[in-house]
Structure 1
């Protein structure tokens, strides 16, 4: 059986553009970690003699365990245990296919301690399984590509957040063969940002060729060993290295945050784990699923769907992986707070590292707005009414539960957004801070501007806007 091609996405060689007939391939003829290959057995459909079929199923699972389970020694022990139960007649009272599948699942999991194992009686699903040794037919591939295209090949959102922070919400790692152009476009969109956040909180996995491509933008041109994968059925080990050449601009120095959650799984975990132990990223959120071992699907007797782990990633730094443990964040917070924490953490780091006074003032201005957007201040009309009045030429009044700002010489008025109990902003350009006297009454308003114009202090002249 051939190994699986991970990607045909072609990257340009040195001195070439992306259209020059690129020469570097992600990998060639390799297993696809973190996916579920399907293996169709050359077996007859079950006979009416259930006892004979039952024994054949068990013997075939014993063989699969010995030959394909991710840990060879453990596979032999599991197989021997099942063989002993078979010879001892412990399966003789099982009278239905569903009961046999359930008992085998229970036994395989309890013996191995590995909950990747499963056996299901699924005659309909098994009959429609495709032999991976044959290339997918054109119609099937077209359906896959169309469905992937409609989901933008996993790139849910790519944007520039306040403070010039790049953000990529990545929901699935599609093969770079198909998603490479989209990935390159995403990385170039954020190429001029000061920090990058990649959100993996809703990413359940995918193909290593996409991990490899994205990681290549986060290091310099010197190839680095990113991950190693051991494939038990053929006893092969494959290495994944970053590429020496990629289309567009690399950002080996950009501060990087990865957002993770309890839903982050498989290939997305691999990406986070590798970048964490390469010292390249700060992980924020929750410990991930802990699903390091990819699972293969085997069809037994034409009607049983058997899933078992068939390979494992081996990190070049730790010598192991995250199976059963998950990838732990550097900063542990609830998943729904991870973006806020990462964004603010990034801004604080930019501020602390800034040497230019004007730039520091700009960062401080943005940080206050960012924090207020993640934790909005809510004021009712009673609280807002204390700010109503005329402040020389400036006017403030409450309408429909919001505070508005206007000018005596301009008929228009603009809604203000509260930043705190006494501070408001007009879009991102102006801020107003109401000044309180010793008796806690509003006596003035202080106006500041994002462009650095001098601050204005305006006394309150009328108690209401008139």
Structure 2
């Protein structure tokens, strides 16, 4: 069985939206020859997959995953009393880094979180930053749903220092996954104003399943549902409160406080 055919079988078995899974699997089988031919270039192979199964998290990756994952970082700059916390290219996989960044910006009068170049990150790390921003009591922000499993509630636990200043979040069309999570939750909770572009639209947590030749199938197996909106940002992106180009987002946010 070819890698693409095996990938299609795994999509049918595990993809989170059971009503879409059979159709996505059949569509991938229909382009399996093209996917297999493109596999030396995973970006090209995944482009073929997503052309018939439009989920930005769906694709084929190398093993070990860690070797292919970028290292994320927080960076803090200041514009007068306004702190700008930039997160790129993904959230750092380190909750201690979250606490350090929160402490660094704690004295700011205003906070801008720049997610324009943030392509994702671990859900727990995103939640850790939300814990500094959503108040001093636990907050239920949503639930995770899986096929054939009970929903799991996501509570955000408060963390010190509490950041109580006004917050704006900057987005671009490149903001994805974990970056969208932070923007969506803060916006839906009424905690932040989102400034910039509509984001990439990837709300589904993933699992990884072995294929051949040192490859894994990355398949969305979960669905986040916000308690504030009853939906999520999958396929539609986070909609900015103040739409503008990504290039103008910082200046626009500074003028909006």
Partner in structure 1 of residue 37 of structure 2: 98
* Rounded Cα–Cα distance in structure 1 between residues aligned with 2:181 and 2:193: 15
Q: Is the 8 A contact 1:166 1:196 kept in 2?
A: yes
Match of 2:113 in 1: 198
Matching residue within 97, 100, 103 for 1:188:
103
Please list the CA deviations of residues 206-241 of structure 1 after superposition, one character each: whole Å capped at 9, or x if unmatched: 012222121112232221112322244x63533322
Pairing 1:213-252 to 2, within 5 Å after superposition: 213-232=128-147, 235-244=149-158, 246-247=159-160, 249-252=161-164
Residues in 2 aligned to 1:109 and 1:243: alpha-carbon distance in whole angstroms: 39
Q: Structure 1 residues 72, 329: closer, same or farther in 2, change over 3 A?
A: same
From 145, 153, 160, give the equivalent of 2:78. Answer: 160
Match of 2:194 in 1: 283
Structure 2 residue runs without a partner (length 5+): none
Quote how far apart the aligned CAs of 1:82 are: 7.2
How do residues 254-403 of structure 1 correspond to structure 2 at under 5 angstroms?
254-302=165-213, 305-346=216-257
Report deviation, 1:308: 3.1
Alignment correspondent of 1:71 = 17
The 1-side partners of 2:249 and 2:240 are apart by: 10
1:66-90 CA-to-partner distances (Å, cap 9, x unmatched) read 321111122134446778x7xxxx9
**Count of residues in Structure 1 that have an aligned counterpart in Structure 2:** 252
Following superposition, the deviation at residue 99 of structure 1 comes to 7.1
Residue pair 1:105, 1:119 contacting (<8 A) in 2 also: no
Q: Deviations over 1:30-55 (max 9, x none)?
A: xxxxxxxxxxxxxxxxxxxxxxx34x
State the Cα distance separating 1:182 from its structure 2 match: 2.5
- Give me the TM-score of the superposition, normalised by structure 1: 0.47
Contact 1:264 1:288 in 2 (8 A): yes
Unaligned runs of 5+ in 1: 1-52, 347-466
Q: Alignment partner of 1:279: what SS?
A: coil
Q: Which structure has the greater CA radius of gyration?
A: 1
Shift of 1:293: 2.2
SS in 1 for 2:183: helix
- What SS does the aligned partner of 2:209 have? strand
Q: Distance in 2 between matches of 1:329 and 1:267?
A: 16
Alpha-carbon distance change, 97 to 290 in structure 1, aligned in 2, over 3 angstroms: closer
Displacement of 1:166 after TM fit?
2.1
Equivalents in 2 of 1:161, 1:321: separation in Å? 33
Q: CA RMSD in A?
A: 3.5
Q: Is the 8 A contact 2:102 2:163 kept in 1?
A: no
Contact 1:160 1:190 in 2 (8 A): no
Q: How far, CA to CA, are the matches of 1:310 and 1:195 in structure 2?
A: 37
Contact 1:105-1:117 at 8 Å conserved across structures: no
Distance 1:269-1:97 versus aligned 2 partners, 3 A rule: closer
